[in-house]
Structure 1
Amino acid sequence: MNKILLSVCLAVSTFYTMNSAYAIDAKYRAKLERSGCTQVSELQGCDVNKSKAENSKAGFGTDKRIISNTYAGKWIAKNSNSEQTVSNILVDNKENVWVNGQKVKSKRSDGGLIFKKGFISYKLEGDPTQQDKSYWTDSDAKTSGPIVRK
């Protein structure tokens, strides 16, 4: 009998301990929602007593208009020997790609955006610190060169 009673008491106390450890107070949750903060951003300085707009001005939260794609923009593929322009590349925020005014299919692979037009394959590096490593390769002429942001 004592073993059963002890097991029940242990199970009940474990249940209450586990549930209370993960609970967020309803008032605190409402403050988080109103302020646009998360528990992590609050630790970084986001003020739960301010509005979303005030915290956004302070640099917290996500303003979807500010977020852009790292590939977005104008790029120029140049010949490494002659510095002549091989292609003009345009990438929008949805990763739609145009090469010399013609839309081409693109895909993310190996840390970059890869696309092809004719015999020329292009790779744009997604990491802003590695964008100087973007390149193109012509499989027919066996030439290659850098791609730079315009």
Structure 2
Amino acid sequence: MNKAIFAALAITLLAQSPAYAISEKYRKQLEQSGCTQISELQGCDITKSKAENAKAGFGEPAAPAAGSTKSQTPYAGQWVAKSASGATVATIRIDEKEHVWVNGKPVKAKRTDGGLQFRAGTILFMIQGDRRLKDEDYWTDSDAGIKGLIQAE
């Protein structure tokens, strides 16, 4: 009895052919157009090129060319750490490779807790990676027990 069930199961598994949700032709059209099945429902045209669909707002935007001034990191730029009274505590510069300078001196930085963290003396700086968050970039001085905000220039 078990041999018969095992044999029937083996034949069934070997006889099954893979099922594909879309045809090969349709898959190639999606790849060439930069569309997905979802974006096609939203108006992406599978008969157009990726570039044409990207101009229409569908698909991934083209990656910036090498040497482009557009930054790949949300931290790059000039920053100013200010006290509660508005006085400048430190000026910060971060390049595209996330090298950090505080008041013109290089410091080591590390990514942690969704942001870039670095220290200069007793002051700890934290710049958030999500640029949509406002007033979340801060500094704290452990000796003086004070803190403040960091603003992009």
- TM-score interval, normalised by the smaller of the two chains: 0.7 to 0.9
Map 1:84-95 to 2 at 5 A: 84-95=87-98
State TM-score, norm by structure 2.
0.76
Candidates 30, 44, 47, aligned match of 2:45: 47
* Paired position in structure 2 for 1:36: 34
> Any stretches of 5+ residues in structure 2 without a counterpart?
65-69
Candidates 103, 106, 109, aligned match of 2:109: 106
Aligned-partner SS, 1:6: helix
Query: Shift of residue 40 of structure 1?
Result: 4.9
CA distance in 1, matches of 2:105, 2:26: 52
Per-residue deviation, residues 57-114 of structure 1 (Å, max 9, x unmatched): 122213222674222222210011x211111112233322222222322111112110
CA distance in 2, matches of 1:38, 1:91: 37
Establish whether residue 73 from structure 1 lines up as the match of residue 77 from structure 2.
yes
CA distance in 2, matches of 1:102, 1:45: 52
Query: Shift of residue 55 of structure 1?
Result: 1.6
CA distance in 2, matches of 1:28, 1:67: 36
Asked whether the 8 Å contact 1:113–1:123 carries over to 2, the reply is yes
Per-residue deviation, residues 30-60 of structure 1 (Å, max 9, x unmatched): 3233223344544554332211211221222
CA distance in 2, matches of 1:44, 1:97: 43
> Any stretches of 5+ residues in structure 1 without a counterpart?
none
Q: Which shifted more, 131-140 or 65-74?
A: 65-74
Decide which structure has greater helix share. Answer: 1
* Paired position in structure 1 for 2:14: 12
Give the partner amino acid of 2:132: T
State TM-score, norm by structure 1.
0.77
Alignment: residue pair count? 145
Identity %: 47
Establish whether residue 133 from structure 1 lines up as the match of residue 124 from structure 2.
no
